[in-house]
Structure formats: structure tokens, C-alpha cells
């Protein structure tokens, strides 16, 4: 049996011959020098080629349909065995459906671990491919330190255990804070949007390219928002409770004559319950200044790990204008995934389509007493 490629070649060859004869027949019909017999011969040749063309085309169309059916079955989400490939296919189909303003198929939602009741809320940004070059992904360094959850209407205790004795809390600052602000924290819903630009070339490309482009943009946008609210020195209205530097949170400031002393004083000022698990979040430039001061011409310190120099693990964040010392498990992000929305938009200036995610989240600093802000004393 001939292959689809061979049938296409045969169809093209016979089709060209048929076209040639039809042109000759048209010319002969108006040429008075051509006899009736010449015209009949051309008609016979045309009919023969037309019959051959129709037979080959029928075989071609049948085989093409069979192969298309097989391909569609293989490409169907339910027939993909590899879990990672199935998820990538589902996410790509999800994005395409949103960009076309079409309903998301049920099998796509199911493959993403979702159903129609949540509106696609469990479609979360995860980078699955690096097949396309995009801008560097923005990172939120707190993702390795803070607590992250995805629970609607979350309300939790500020400390993870209780005793029947009200005086059990050894840290008096914590006891005062719990008495003043309550012993539970309720997470709110703060709306924000993340835009991922998708060109037509990418949208028509491979599933890997589509998913990679969207995922990296969403991750960057989400991380940037998380970091911005946590380190803002002038929070927006309604976001004051999210920032370590906000007066609304009221984290205690501890000073020193210079940065090294301010940080070590802040560590020492923490109660041991928090000091044992403390991490220092600070700018790399501030740490470099500390090394220059401590080294005083000795190159040994430049090769030392930051934890060896400051006594606690160090995480560098350029947004940390003043070093923050504390137990960052008391920094808690929560996403309300049940209300996550997806839509499309278009930048009329560039013609780029936008895949838009509208999400709701909250950042709660559960205990201000678990942190200290290190400040250099003003002379």
C-alpha cells in the first residue's frame, strides 16, 4: 500500500498532467486548424486523467483521514500516558481556550486536577520547560523561608501549641502581643493581576513554548508582588499589615553603632524560641560593607560563608533596606485559589495578546515579636 507522501506526489503529477490537457483542449476548441478528431482525442485524454485523479484523490483522502484520526487519538489528553506530558498538554490547551474566549474542556480541567466548580483555580504557575528564551524570572527569596498555603478563608492560631496555664509563654513580648492583638490570625483577600504577553508565533508554537512563556511570566509577576508587599517602606492602603517595615505591624527596631553590631544586637534581642531558628534577610551591599570593615585589609573574611561571619543563615534581598532578623516561619503567605480568574486582553499598541491571571492573596506576619529590624544608630 502506498504511503500518504507517495499518494500526494502521484496526485500532484496527475493533476499537473490533467491541467495541461485541459489547457490544450481549451486552445484546440478555438483553433480552426484543429480537427474534430484532435479535439475528441484531447477530451478522451482529459477524461482518462480525470478518472485517475479522482481514484488517487479518494485513496489519498481516506488515508489522510485515517492518519488524522490516529493522531487526534494519540494527541487526546486521556490517551497520553506520561503525567508530565499530559499536564503540559492540558495547560497549553487551557491557555489556548482562554486566549480564544472559549470554554475550557472538561478533560483539560480534570487533567489539571480541577473541576468545573472552581473555575480553574488549581491551575498554578509552575515552570515546566525552558524551550523559549524569556526575561529572567524574578525570584522571591522568602519562598524558601516563609510559610505558603492555598486555603480559602484561612484562620490559624499565631502559635502552634497552647497550655492550660495562661502564663506559659516565656517571651513576655509575645504574651503582650497575643493579649493586645488576639491569638489567631485571619487571612484576607487582596486582589492583584499578572499579565503574560503571548505573541501569535508563540501561541501557534509547541505546547512547551506556550506553557514555558506563560509560566515564567506568571511566576515572575507573582514573586515580584509577594516581595513588594513584604518589603514596602510605604505600603498601599490596605497592605500595611503585609510589610515588615510597616508601623502597623510594629516590629521592634534594634540599633548598633554600625551594621555588624546592629545585626548581632538584633539576634541577641530575640527570645530564644525565635533566635534558634532565626535567619537574617539583608542587602548584599550591606553585607559587603560589613566584610570590608571587619576584614580591615585581611582577605580571609572574604572567603567565609555569611553564616560564619554573622552567626545565622543569611538570605540576600535587595529590597531589605534594613536587615530583618527573625524566625520567618511566622511570615505566612496564603492564596485564595478558589477565586482565581483567567482572561485575555490585547495591547492595541503592540498587538500582543495578554494571558491575564487575577488572584487574591494575603501576607500575614503572625508574630511581630518573632522578628527584629537592625538599624544603624544615627550619630
pLDDT in tens, 18-66: 899 888 888 888 888 888 888 888 889 899 999 989 988 888 888 877 7
pLDDT band for position 177 (cuts 50, 70, 90): low
Range of the domain at 93: 82-123
Between 243 and 179, the higher pLDDT residue = 243
The whole-model pTM stands at 0.65
Q: Do 108 and 24 sit in the same domain of this protein?
A: no
Residue 228 has pLDDT above 80, yes or no: yes
pLDDT band for position 174 (cuts 50, 70, 90): low
Q: What are phi and psi for residue 190, nearest 5 degrees?
A: -110, 120
Residue 132 has pLDDT above 70, yes or no: no
Mean model confidence pLDDT for the chain = 80
Q: Percent of the chain scored above 70 by pLDDT?
A: 80
Q: Do 9 and 26 sit in the same domain of this protein?
A: yes
Q: Do 13 and 97 sit in the same domain of this protein?
A: no
Q: Do 44 and 165 sit in the same domain of this protein?
A: no
What separation in angstroms does the CA of 316 have from each of 51, 60, 310?
A: 77, 64, 13
**Which of the listed ranges 17-21, 110-114, 258-262, 289-293 does the model predict with the highest average pLDDT?**
258-262
Q: Percent of the chain scored above 90 by pLDDT?
A: 27
Do the Cβ atoms of 280 and 263 come closer than 8 Å?
yes
In this structure, the number of other CB atoms found within 10 A of the CB of residue 226 comes to: 24
Do the Cβ atoms of 326 and 142 come closer than 8 Å?
no
Q: Identify which of 280, 284, 269 has the alpha carbon closest to the alpha carbon of residue 311.
A: 280
What separation in angstroms does the CA of 72 have from each of 5, 66, 69, 107, 325?
A: 19, 10, 5, 14, 56
Q: Do 299 and 334 sit in the same domain of this protein?
A: yes
Q: Do 202 and 317 sit in the same domain of this protein?
A: yes
The pLDDT of residue 161: 45
In this structure, the number of other CB atoms found within 10 A of the CB of residue 379 comes to: 4
Q: How far apart are CA 369 and CA 7, in angstroms?
A: 78
Number of domains in the chain: 3
Do the Cβ atoms of 252 and 177 come closer than 8 Å?
no
Q: Which three cell numbers stand for residue 78?
A: 486521556
Amino acid at each position: 500500500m502506498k504511503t500518504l507522501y507517495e499518494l500526494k506526489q502521484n496526485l500532484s503529477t496527475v493533476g499537473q498532467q490533467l491541467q495541461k490537457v485541459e489547457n490544450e483542449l481549451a486552445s484546440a476548441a478555438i483553433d480552426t486548424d484543429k480537427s474534430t478528431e484532435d479535439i475528441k482525442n484531447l477530451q478522451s485524454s482529459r477524461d482518462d486523467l480525470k478518472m485517475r485523479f479522482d481514484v488517487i484523490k479518494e485513496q489519498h483522502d481516506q488515508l489522510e483521514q485515517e492518519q488524522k484520526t490516529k493522531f487526534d487519538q494519540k494527541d487526546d489528553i486521556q490517551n497520553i500516558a506520561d503525567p508530565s506530558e499530559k499536564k503540559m498538554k492540558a495547560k497549553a490547551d487551557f491557555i489556548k481556550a482562554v486566549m480564544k474566549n472559549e470554554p475550557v474542556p472538561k478533560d483539560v480541567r480534570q487533567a489539571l486536577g480541577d473541576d468545573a466548580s472552581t473555575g480553574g483555580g488549581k491551575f498554578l504557575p509552575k515552570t515546566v520547560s525552558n524551550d523559549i528564551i524569556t526575561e529572567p524570572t524574578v525570584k522571591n527569596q522568602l519562598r524558601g523561608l516563609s510559610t505558603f498555603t492555598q486555603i480559602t478563608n484561612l484562620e490559624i492560631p499565631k502559635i502552634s501549641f497552647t497550655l492550660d496555664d495562661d502564663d506559659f509563654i516565656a517571651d513576655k513580648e509575645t504574651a503582650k502581643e497575643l493579649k493586645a492583638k488576639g491569638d489567631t490570625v485571619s487571612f484576607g483577600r487582596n486582589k492583584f493581576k499578572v499579565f503574560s504577553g503571548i505573541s501569535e508565533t508563540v501561541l501557534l508554537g509547541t505546547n512547551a513554548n506556550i506553557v514555558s512563556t506563560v509560566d515564567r511570566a506568571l511566576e515572575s509577576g507573582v514573586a515580584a508582588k509577594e516581595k513588594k508587599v513584604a518589603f514596602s517602606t510605604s505600603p498601599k492602603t490596605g497592605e500595611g499589615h503585609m510589610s515588615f517595615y510597616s508601623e502597623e505591624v510594629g516590629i521592634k527596631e534594634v540599633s548598633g553603632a554600625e551594621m555588624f553590631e546592629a545585626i548581632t544586637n538584633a539576634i541577641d534581642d530575640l527570645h530564644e524560641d525565635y533566635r534558634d531558628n532565626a535567619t537574617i534577610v539583608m542587602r548584599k551591599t550591606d553585607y559587603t560593607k560589613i566584610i570590608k570593615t571587619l576584614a580591615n585589609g585581611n582577605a580571609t573574611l572574604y572567603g567565609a560563608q555569611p553564616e560564619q561571619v554573622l552567626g545565622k543563615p543569611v538570605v540576600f534581598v535587595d529590597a531589605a533596606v534594613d536587615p530583618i532578623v527573625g524566625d520567618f516561619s511566622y511570615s505566612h503567605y496564603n492564596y485564595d485559589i478558589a477565586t482565581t480568574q483567567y482572561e485575555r486582553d490585547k495591547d492595541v499598541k503592540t498587538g500582543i495578546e495578554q494571558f491575564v491571571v487575577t488572584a487574591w492573596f494575603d501576607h500575614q506576619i503572625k508574630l511581630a515579636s518573632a522578628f527584629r529590624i537592625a538599624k544603624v544608630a544615627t550619630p
